[in-house]
Amino acid sequence: MTDRFRALVVDKSDTSFSVEIKEMTLDELPPGEVTVRVAWSGVNYKDGLAGIPDGRILETYPLIPGIDLAGTVIHSSDSRFKEGEEVIVASAELGVSHSGGFSEMARIPGDWVIPLPEGLTLKEAMVLGTAGFTAAMSIQRMEENGLKPENGPVLVTGATGGVGSTAVAMLAKRGYTVAAGTGKTDAHDYLRRLGAAEILSREDLTNPQQRPLLKSRWAGAVDPVGGQTLSYLLSTMRFGGTVALSGLAGGAKFTSTVYPFILRGVHLLGIDSAHVSNEYRRKVWHRLATDLKPEGLLDWIGAEEVALDDLPAAMSSILRGGVRGRKLVKLS
């Protein structure tokens, strides 16, 4: 086993900020019971924020970002994992306070490690990554709350993004009628291929007069956009409809009234993919490998591969809303 490997390191002081590819040794990795040779990672919105000085994601410096990784165990002092086993890691601390997946090697506490579920390859797992996990968790939570295909159409906002694309494909596979909201006029074919039956523009998803209630349309909504899109959603949900809110790509502030909640029994579910029990995480990954696994996962999404050296550009691109589907990071 070679002791030297490459990683993307973000560093910050009072006067400087840097994002650099560096050669490192295993001694420089944080403590943990499991050492993994990383095969794939993926670029998430949070990783984009990790690459800017005021992104407020990294809790310590220097740090290797990357909130997802998939690879092979090369050493484990935790009896639950064996050398040669394929695993996934995506947890609250990875790539935030503990060095993460933008590295050829990673060392992680055993409690964060999940065996790769049967039905997924390492590459497929990272095409999904935290974005796909968040989409699947949104569907799981809405279904726990009574959502079924026969309840009516489900709207996905930010539909060409990581959470959005994977949500459209998963809902379509489960038999839901899916509407996709997007700001990209050139992405309609892409969204129809994923399974969208209807496409709405960003302007369609507004409520300029801020009416408490508009015509009721949606039985469910996967919303990684938030902001005023969420205001629109709350005013257009059907009786008993459910919004699974996961993001703020369109802003953190929204306006609403109590009416959707008390006159239509609308449910607003917060989705936090980082702070879930290991048991729940495994359950959602099992669904990602079975009933929610999108058809032709490696083809439909484009799954553009990025090398370590091109990562800084990919991290900036996701913050500009310029990513369609997912960007995969190939490490070894």
Ligand X SMILES: NC(=O)c1ccc[n+]([C@@H]2O[C@H](COP(=O)([O-])OP(=O)(O)OC[C@H]3O[C@@H](n4cnc5c(N)ncnc54)[C@H](OP(=O)(O)O)[C@@H]3O)[C@@H](O)[C@H]2O)c1
Residues that bind ligand X (CB under 6 A): 44-46, 130-131, 134, 158-164, 182-184, 202, 224-225, 229, 246-250, 271-274, 318, 321, 323
Question: Nearest CA to 157 among 13, 271, 43, 75?
Answer: 271
Helical axes 122-144 vs 162-173, angle rounded to 10°:
70
CB of 110 to ligand X, least distance (A): 23
By C-beta, is 46 or 107 nearer to ligand X?
46
Q: Which helix or strand (DSSP H or E) is residue 46 part of?
A: helix 45-50
Residue 148: how many other CB atoms lie within 10 Å: 13
C-alpha–C-alpha distance, residues 232 and 213, integer Å = 9
By C-beta, is 57 or 105 nearer to ligand X?
57
Residue 262: how many other CB atoms lie within 10 Å: 9
| Distances from the Cα of 210 to the Cα of 161, 221, 228, 232, angstroms | 26, 19, 10, 8
Which residue's Cβ lies closest to ligand X?
A: 161
CB of 105 to ligand X, least distance (A): 25
CB of 27 to ligand X, least distance (A): 32
The two structure tokens encoding residue 70: 């998939």
By C-beta, is 83 or 304 nearer to ligand X?
304
By C-beta, is 116 or 271 nearer to ligand X?
271
CB of 66 to ligand X, least distance (A): 13
The two structure tokens encoding residue 145: 């709350």
By C-beta, is 35 or 182 nearer to ligand X?
182
Instruction: Say which residue the tokens 């590819």 belong to.
Output: 21
CB of 263 to ligand X, least distance (A): 27
CB of 92 to ligand X, least distance (A): 10
By C-beta, is 242 or 246 nearer to ligand X?
246
Q: What is the DSSP string of 189-240?
A: HHHHHHT-SEEEETGGG--TT--S-----EEEEEES--HHHHHHHHHHEEEE
CB of 320 to ligand X, least distance (A): 8
In three-state secondary structure terms, 109 is coil
CB of 155 to ligand X, least distance (A): 12
C-alpha–C-alpha distance, residues 5 and 44, integer Å = 23
Q: Give 196's contacts (C-beta < 8 A, 6+ positions apart).
A: 156, 159, 168, 172, 178, 179, 180
By C-beta, is 36 or 315 nearer to ligand X?
315
C-alpha–C-alpha distance, residues 184 and 253, integer Å = 23
By C-beta, is 46 or 293 nearer to ligand X?
46
By C-beta, is 116 or 314 nearer to ligand X?
314
| Distances from the Cα of 72 to the Cα of 114, 121, 122, 130, 179, angstroms | 11, 12, 9, 19, 38
CB of 165 to ligand X, least distance (A): 8
